[in-house]
Structure 1
Amino acid sequence: MTKDKKIKINQNDSTLLQQPFYDEFLQTMTNMIHWSRWVGVAGSEGVVWKLWGFLLLCLLLAIEGQAIWKVIKALAGWAIDMRGHRSVTARLAGTMFYSASLLCLIQCWRLSCSWKEISKYWASIEWTLSIQYVPRDKTIRTKMYKTVFFVATLSSVEHLLDMISSFDFNCQLSLCFRTFFLKSHGFLILEHEYSDWIAVLVFITSIMATILWNLQDLIIILTSMGLSARYQRLNEGVKIVTTKNNKEEKSNKDREFLKVYMWRKIREAYVKQSMLVRKVDNSLGTLILMSAFFNFYFICVQLFLGIASSDPAASVNQIYHAVSLSWVCIRTGYTVLAAAEVNKTSTLALPYLYESSAQYYNVEIERLQKQLSRDYVALTGMGFFYLNRTFVLQMAGAVVTYVLVLIQYDDSETVVPTNSTLTT
């Protein structure tokens, strides 16, 4: 038997079961988890990759500790320089960025360790979805790779603009990297603290931190796509079965028995699918909570800096803030809407059930209706909130509120980072 073939049972049976050789989503997601070892997410990989992950974790901890100390010094009034990229706002933003990356590394490592167990459970219920009338989603792999390419491309553009905004094209060639680093990481290191080898380590770690920051949203998006695809398959199966039943004119007891049995299998498939969503939510809940919190914070900061900045000479910075704000908003919206699709698709089969002919209506269809209408299925942020489509509007309202508060208490002379106030 070849890899593309499937094990079939009773080809004429309306309750045909098929066991796919592999699941496209699981295979693609496993590859993503495997590739993430390059940014320190070792999971259950070999010793070399775990050492690399541990080294990156130590670097992030060291940078985060130094960033927190700089914030404390600024708040206590001990800081030597509080201008531009060394203001309280800039120091806090840098601290939050590395906090997000550090926590993301820990949570992604934890998810990577538990992924084998999740994938086994995911594959174990594939039998339930392998009903004759439930088609396979052959486009899920393509959609996932397109999403990875989209996120990787836009995040690279945003990071490149960030580097350009901190680069001084008029400096001497031998001092270019020093000038660039003191502008981009002025919240972390002062001029008299600068060292080439420290700057190189921090620069490499910052690139890894940027990848990790985008990786957390990418994992949520891809996992949500897999869950939504399974619901869409079930919904399509319900549509096909309902349409076929409504077209039948004659019936007999044997056929009715098979229909009741089929609807029972479909209802059990929905039960196991909701159990799968909750199991995945237990593993992703912390990552979702962190993603929502840090994305909300950086949207507020970038929007605040874009509105409050009034230096006409800092056109590159303004372009960067506009692009960065747009990208964070797009990525956050994409993440929330992808996760909200799980909640939306979990009830899309109800209209088809309501269209069932009264002649073929049975107790299993009635149970499935009650189950879909009463069981609220959605990904959550550790149970604090549900990721549905109204959550986007709630975040937008909260962003506007907090940005207005920040502008009201803004002191533009000491808070807003501009090139003219930088000490290099």
Structure 2
Amino acid sequence: MANYEISYDLRKKVHRITICLMLTAAVEHGLVNAHKLKAWIEETEDINEAFKQYFVSGYPHIFGAVEYSFSLGLLVQLTNLQRTFLWSYADVFVMLVGSAVTFRVNQFCRKVQTLSQKQINDKQAWQSVRNDYSKLFKLCQTTNRHLSNTIIVSFLFNLYFILIQLFSSLKQTADVVKKAYFLLSVLFISIRIACICVFGGNVYEEWANIGCYLNSIPSEAYNAEAERLIQYVLTCPLSLTGNHFFYITRSLMLKIAGAIVTYELVLIQFYENQLR
């Protein structure tokens, strides 16, 4: 597809997505840890003791087994930071792959639009386009084969954390900063899920646009190869999927929102006493 028109700079888009998502993750992680450290400093009024309480209370499963030291605390904190970025990287990776596949599908879509508008009735041209669509379909299949598990893990982690943070925000507390953190955390995760659905779902949206342009081919440009292409496109859709359990589309956001409300109501019923 080297002779296809390039509609936008994919590299700049990839850089913007990566910087924005990773920066958001860093800000969220920094705010919550700064708030915890500030609370311990105000309580102990000693910087060394504050750091000790911050590390010991934050990682009791580690410092309950080994003796505390400041250097070990920094190492554990660095590991936790890497874990945060690793969680965010899975989401970013799905968005970047979705953007890359969308870029190719968009090129194909614009090619079909051009052939349709110029009323080109050359069978070889339509056959070449059909062969290119076959390559796109194989690309999408290969992508799903390698990315499906990552997509499932990404959605499961985001759904789990948004349920936990939303449930925590419902607990009665006099600490306004703590409550604001939980609400902001829910907002950040919601934006992350929305971005995955948008950037990953753009593949499906571009595929739908291809079908619209093919169905609007004028009779002057319609031939046997164009008909074969239409049948091929309609029977072999392009989209990112989580092992075929679900397809990433923009409407998936509404389904996830409904699932969050349902599970949150279940959590409220089971842990009603903790919310009082």
Both structures adopt the same fold (TM-score exceeding 0.5): yes
In 2, distance between residues paired with 1:385 and 1:146? 27
* Partner in structure 1 of residue 254 of structure 2: 393
Checking the alignment, whether the CA contact within 8 Å between 2:95 and 2:199 is kept in structure 1 is yes
User: For residues 243-254 of structure 1, what are the structure 2 equivalents within 5 Å?
Assistant: 243-245=117-119
Give 1:328 deviation, angstroms: 0.8
Secondary structure, counterpart of 1:166 in structure 2: helix
Change (3 A) 1:286 1:269: same
In 2, distance between residues paired with 1:359 and 1:191? 78
Q: Which moved more, 1:320-329 or 1:343-352?
A: 343-352
* Partner in structure 1 of residue 137 of structure 2: 274
Gaps of 5+ in 2: none
Give 1:209 deviation, angstroms: 0.3
* Partner in structure 2 of residue 130 of structure 1: 2
Is the helix fraction higher in 1 or 2? 2
Secondary structure, counterpart of 2:144 in structure 1: helix
In 2, distance between residues paired with 1:235 and 1:175? 62
* Paired residue type of 1:311: T
Secondary structure, counterpart of 2:240 in structure 1: coil
Change (3 A) 1:412 1:202: farther
* Partner in structure 1 of residue 191 of structure 2: 330
* Partner in structure 2 of residue 365 of structure 1: 226
**Equivalent residue in structure 2 for 1:296, among 120, 136, 159:** 159
**Equivalent residue in structure 2 for 1:310, among 154, 159, 172:** 172
In 2, distance between residues paired with 1:412 and 1:173? 37
In 1, distance between residues paired with 2:104 and 2:63? 53
Checking the alignment, whether the CA contact within 8 Å between 1:165 and 1:320 is kept in structure 2 is no
Change (3 A) 1:180 1:159: same
Give 1:272 deviation, angstroms: 0.8
User: For residues 49-128 of structure 1, what are the structure 2 equivalents within 5 Å?
Assistant: none
RMSD, matched Cα:
2.0
**Equivalent residue in structure 2 for 1:195, among 29, 54, 68:** 68
* Structure of larger gyration radius: 1
**Equivalent residue in structure 2 for 1:175, among 38, 49, 65:** 49
Change (3 A) 1:375 1:192: closer
TM-score when scaled to structure 1? 0.61
Gaps of 5+ in 1: 1-128, 247-255, 417-424
TM-score when scaled to structure 2? 0.91
Secondary structure, counterpart of 1:380 in structure 2: coil
Give deviations 1:304-338, integer Å, cap 9, x for gaps.
0011x2111x2221121111111111111111221
Checking the alignment, whether the CA contact within 8 Å between 1:350 and 1:369 is kept in structure 2 is yes
In 1, distance between residues paired with 2:64 and 2:158? 31
After superposing on structure 2, the runs of 4+ consecutive aligned residues of structure 1 that deviate more than 3 Å are 189-194
State, as a whole percentage, how many aligned pairs show the same letter: 25
Give deviations 1:272-298, integer Å, cap 9, x for gaps.
101101101111111001001111100
Give 1:369 deviation, angstroms: 1.1
* Partner in structure 1 of residue 34 of structure 2: 164
Give 1:412 deviation, angstroms: 5.0
Q: State yes or no: 1:213 paired with 2:87.
A: yes
In 2, distance between residues paired with 1:385 and 1:360? 36
In 2, distance between residues paired with 1:374 and 1:383? 16
Secondary structure, counterpart of 2:41 in structure 1: coil
* Paired residue type of 2:2: S
In 1, distance between residues paired with 2:8 and 2:251? 30
* Partner in structure 2 of residue 184 of structure 1: 58
Give deviations 1:9-62, integer Å, cap 9, x for gaps.
xxxxxxxxxxxxxxxxxxxxxxxxxxxxxxxxxxxxxxxxxxxxxxxxxxxxxx
